Amino acid sequence: MTSGRARPAVLVARRVFPDVLAGLQRHFEVEANDTDEVWSPEELRQRLQGKAGALTTGSERISAELLAACPDLRVVANMAVGFNNFDVAACTAQGVLATNTPDVLTETTADFGFALLLATARRLTESEHFLRAGLWNRWSVDMFAGAEVHGSTLGILGMGRIGQGIARRGAHGFGMRVLYHNRSRLSPATEADCRAEWVPKADLLAQADHLVLVLPYSAASHHAIGAAELALMKPTATLVNIARGGIVDDEALAHALRTRQIAAAGLDVFEGEPTVHPELLALSNVVLTPHIASATLPTRRAMAQLAADNLVAFLVEGRALTPINPDVLTRVG
């Protein structure tokens, strides 16, 4: 319990678990978003007035303009490993600590990446819709025949912790040959553990039977997969995106799926989500999920708790657990 001085005020921008909120209320004056509606930038700005900290999700954009209009803000704790909703340079310039939630979601998200890969390759949702529509009246030799997963070539673009988790599942669980491309190569020991081989991006695209995208979104990774990259892929290939919308050019992907330039895609993230490109919605060779790769209750709880713990660590103890811009700590420390 913080005592003696006025307690700092914090904003919790989306609904979180009641016990996580109660933990914050032991230290802070808390304004919470009970409706769980996504606030407009203007409403977020208004609610941040007088707040020293904010617990945000990927839906809240922490821009330079917002930071300039919220002079009391000292820390923004994102309940996500990705932080492309933060202008990190502006946070640092204004002395605002930014934190995220790495590690606690790695294995859960890798599980989901593999689930989406399997569902896409083996045409799970397409065949289920067929059955539910009452169209199944006989067994047929090639009905919903999909792509082989075991023994095939798994390509991973972006080889951080989640990419490594997917590589291990592919190599050790499904006997896949694992290729990856990343700006920096893994250490030989980690490559051996993942049984993964670094290749240039063009080779990855050309050789993968299943290509999984796990790279962070930035200006550099915008449309990392567009028409030119899709043209390099096998016509039998599947593409899985669990990273961020904007890494794939959804318009180009819809075209590639419609013209069978690639066989299928599994998408958990979209450009402009929660709006989904109408052509993707109309295609049967794409599995669509609403940004749920980290969504198990234990993992979402761990993410919320870590974000809350970052607020407490910084505002009460002057430290941070998982800082994105640790320079701010040395400046305020």
Q: Which residues are catalytic?
A: 244, 273, 291
Residue closer to ligand DGY (CB basis): 33 or 294 = 294
What is the distance between the alpha carbons of residues 306 and 80, in angstroms, rounded to a whole number? 10
Residue closer to ligand DGY (CB basis): 120 or 294 = 294
Question: Min. distance of Cβ 290 from ligand DGY in angstroms?
Answer: 10
DSSP state letter for 23? H
| φ, ψ of residue 197 in degrees (nearest 5) | -120, 130
CA dihedral 288, 290, 296, 298 (to 10 degrees): 160
Mark out the alpha helices in 122-213 (DSSP H runs).
124-132, 161-168, 174, 188-194, 201-207
Mark out the alpha helices in 183-241 (DSSP H runs).
188-194, 201-207, 227-232
Q: Which residues bind ligand DGY (CB under 6 A)?
A: 58, 80-82, 105, 291, 294
Question: Min. distance of Cβ 289 from ligand DGY in angstroms?
Answer: 12
**Are the CB atoms for 155 and 208 separated by under 8 Å?**
yes
β-bridge mates for residue 31, sequence order: 11
Residue closer to ligand DGY (CB basis): 199 or 295 = 295
- Using omega within 30 degrees of 0 as the cis cutoff, is the peptide bond preceding 102 cis? no
**Are the CB atoms for 13 and 32 separated by under 8 Å?**
no
Question: 3-class DSSP state for residue 105?
Answer: coil
The token pair that represents 83 in the structure block: 């932080």
What is the distance between the alpha carbons of residues 156 and 178, in angstroms, rounded to a whole number? 8
Question: Min. distance of Cβ 80 from ligand DGY in angstroms?
Answer: 3
Question: Min. distance of Cβ 106 from ligand DGY in angstroms?
Answer: 10
What is the distance between the alpha carbons of residues 270 and 291, in angstroms, rounded to a whole number? 8
The token pair that represents 162 in the structure block: 């989640």
What is the distance between the alpha carbons of residues 167 and 195, in angstroms, rounded to a whole number? 7
Residue closer to ligand DGY (CB basis): 79 or 257 = 79
What is the distance between the alpha carbons of residues 117 and 122, in angstroms, rounded to a whole number? 8
Name which of 266, 214, 180, 264 is nearest 110 in CA terms: 214
Residue closer to ligand DGY (CB basis): 82 or 160 = 82
Question: Min. distance of Cβ 203 from ligand DGY in angstroms?
Answer: 28
Question: Min. distance of Cβ 105 from ligand DGY in angstroms?
Answer: 6
Question: Min. distance of Cβ 330 from ligand DGY in angstroms?
Answer: 26
Residue closer to ligand DGY (CB basis): 247 or 263 = 247
Residue nearest to ligand DGY (CB): 82
